Structure 1
Amino acid sequence: MALPSVPSRREAETITNALGWVTLGLAAVELAAPGALARSVGLKQNHQFLKGLGVREVGSRAGLFGWRRARPLVIWARVAGDALDLAALAPALRRSNPRRGVAVAAFAAVAGVTLLDVLCARALSKDRR
């Protein structure tokens, strides 16, 4: 299986913009209904932590709207945020979780977004050098 290639700058900009809108939607859910979101994947705690992740998502989207020159840094910060999202989901992957299937799907989706963020960050960082 071949690893995905680094996108062109134009592709990275398009992907980054689309992911920014998707994560803004996720941020709205994290801020408005953190308890329901946590329960949907089988987590009983971390409600306030999820609100913090929502605030981070809003901040990263604001960074993508502005600071064109800093965009690669903002995307690398998103990668770090993706790692926090994966860490928040990890407890839901336990075998005893009745919502484990949903948690696995959510974890896979976040991992996919993380890969896209890494590839886009590499593409945009490469052009800055």
Structure 2
Amino acid sequence: MATTRALNTSADVHRQSGSDAMARGLGVLSLALGAVELAGARPLARMLGLRGQENFIRFCGAREIMQGVAILSAKDPTPWVWARVAGDVLDIGTLAIEHGLAHPSKRQNVTLALGTVLGITVLDVMTARQLSQENREPWSTNIDFSTRSGLPGRGEVPRRGRSRAEAEGRSEPPVPSHFVSRGLNGGAHPAEAM
């Protein structure tokens, strides 16, 4: 009989399905994109025709890094992947507006950046939906308790305290030997001392 591991947290469910690995990959991608946007804001602005918007690009980089750190450090990355989706919407809106305003020589670069962001957004949405779906499902329906003691077919389980006394036919538990050897109650059983 195959044993099924009980899933105790949403992180266990995500890890088992592989969506956790995808979310962690998106977290690493966020860190990398954020670093590029922070360190290369000026060249990016020049390439996209966004001169004078370097601070906005740096802000987007800082946002990406914060989302990446949150995804990688969270037990359940679901809300942080949805935050990535929201950031993608902001990026798409910015690039779409810039596409319409861009100089014809820069329009191809903006189109390429917009296509890249749209592709990443598809991955973000798919991962966020998968994580959300897993959070709504029961964690485990096939919990196998056969390895736990006390079930039929597992033999006699040693018992302690009152249970052992009752199993041996006594009405009260035995006095521990260290009480008797010290002479407490004159070495008599507690019930006899009264």
Structure-1-length-normalised TM-score: 0.83
- 1:50-74: CA deviations, max 9, x gaps? 11111111110111111212x1100
Q: Could you list the runs of 4 or more consecutive aligned residues of structure 1 that deviate by over 3 angstroms after TM superposition?
A: none
Alignment partner of 2:63 out of 56, 61, 68: 56
The structure with more helix, counted as a fraction of residues: 1
Q: Does 1:83 align with 2:89?
A: yes
Is 1:43–1:91's contact at 8 Å kept on the other side of the alignment? no
Look up the match of 2:176. none
How far, CA to CA, are the matches of 1:84 and 1:101 in structure 2? 20
- C-alpha change, 1:37 and 1:96, in structure 2 (3 Å) is closer
What code does the residue aligned with 1:107 have?
Answer: L
What is the DSSP-based 3-state SS (H/G/I as helix, E as strand, rest coil) of the residue aligned with 1:68? coil
How far, CA to CA, are the matches of 2:53 and 2:133 in structure 1? 37
Q: How does 1:14-53 map to 2 (within 5 A)?
A: 14-53=21-60
What code does the residue aligned with 2:51 have?
Answer: K
Alignment partner of 1:92 out of 98, 113, 128: 98
CA RMSD of aligned residues (A): 1.9
5+ residue gaps, structure 2: 1-13, 137-194
What is the DSSP-based 3-state SS (H/G/I as helix, E as strand, rest coil) of the residue aligned with 2:105? coil
What code does the residue aligned with 1:56 have?
Answer: R
How far, CA to CA, are the matches of 2:123 and 2:69 in structure 1? 19
How far, CA to CA, are the matches of 2:27 and 2:106 in structure 1? 27
How far, CA to CA, are the matches of 1:87 and 1:114 in structure 2? 12
Percent identity at matched positions?
A: 35
Larger Rg: 2
How far, CA to CA, are the matches of 1:48 and 1:74 in structure 2? 23
User: How far apart are residue 84 of structure 1 and its match?
Assistant: 1.3
Is 1:12–1:124's contact at 8 Å kept on the other side of the alignment? yes
Alignment partner of 1:113 out of 117, 120, 133: 120
What code does the residue aligned with 2:95 have?
Answer: L
Structure-2-length-normalised TM-score: 0.57
How far, CA to CA, are the matches of 2:120 and 2:81 in structure 1? 11
What code does the residue aligned with 2:49 have?
Answer: G
